[in-house]
Amino acid sequence: MRTAYFASAVALSVLLCPGSGFGQGNNVKEKKLKPPPDEFRAVLSAVEEAYKAPREVDKDVLDELRKQYRDPKPEREAKIFREIRRLYETTPELEQTILTEIRRAYEQPSAEQEERIFNSIRRAPQLPLGTVPIQAQAELAEKLFRKLDQDGNGFLGSDEMSELLHGQRAQWDKNRDGLVSFEEYGAYYQAQLKSVSEQVASGELPLKLPKGTVSPDAAPSRIEEPRPIDGRPAKPLPDLPRWFAECDLDADGQVGLHEWRKLGHAIKEFLVMDGNKDGFLEASELRAFLADSSSTIASKLRSR
């Protein structure tokens, strides 16, 4: 079923990509040929992005949404949903609901409406840690194929294949014509992605991840559920409410929007504390907020 879905996604990505070059060999030959892409690096990079998703998606969605308030563009809406799909397994029906809430926010932007948007998003289950979404797989495979297909005829000849693909050509050239078609390359790409993902999960391949990102060797229970305060490496700071350390799930000394939302707290509360609006609440920002603010939210957070 997933293979069929991938094939459909591949077909869609080609249709939506104008000037892809398939069947346009004469035009492409006039251009200076580029060196072939580093196929392995591209696959590993896709896996890295998947591991970054839990840390990045909430902040990136909010950033793009607020840009829409100032300058609405269809392309930015599409970017918002690409971000959402990095982390969540959505359905067309749910995406329509999310889109409705997003467009309501254009008319009346507020923290409460942003909260409703994120509540809609979180109705979708999260993808397992390190999962590259099917649609992203199709787009990445199509991008690599176009770069390898130097003459633009829609097939990879021996001199266009990566070293690894050339060595495995007999396995992927299903019709034995000596060429690898786009569909055959899609199956090959998925196999390479699976292999790299397994090597990352086992620790054989290291990833370059930002500080605080959940690592591939994290236990599933730690990924799915907030870490208990008992046994945490970070200790609560004496001059701050205990909840600051409890919300710092990765113990990096700050609370990310993704961590705040994972624990079910209101986004409005986070936004008023995040002084520089970078999506991370540092201890200094919380101290300043609690010292200077007499708002109802501040009183609630002091006593939480």
pLDDT at residue 220, rounded to an integer: 42
pLDDT attached to residue 20: 41
Residue 291: inside a domain: yes
Instruction: With respect to residue 42, please indicate whether it lies within any of the assigned structural domains.
Output: yes
pLDDT at residue 17 in the model: 43
- Same domain? 131 vs 275: no
Same domain, 144 and 198: yes
Residues 248 and 298 in one domain: yes
Question: What is the pLDDT tens value at each position of the chain, 304 positions in all?
Answer: 555 555 555 544 443 344 444 344 444 444 444 555 688 999 999 999 999 999 899 999 999 999 999 888 889 999 999 999 999 999 999 999 999 999 999 998 998 999 999 999 999 999 998 999 988 999 999 999 999 999 999 999 999 999 999 999 999 999 999 999 999 999 999 999 999 999 998 888 888 887 767 667 653 433 333 333 333 434 556 677 888 888 887 777 888 887 787 777 777 788 788 877 777 888 888 888 887 766 677 677 776 7
Domain termination site, one of 209, 231, 251: 209
Q: Is residue 131 located within the same domain as residue 25?
A: yes
State the pLDDT at residue 142.
93
Q: What is the CATH number for 295? A: 1.10.238.10
Q: How many domains does the chain have?
A: 2
Q: Which residue range forms the structural domain that includes residue 259?
A: 242-303
Nearest alpha carbon to residue 105 among 97, 116, 113: 113
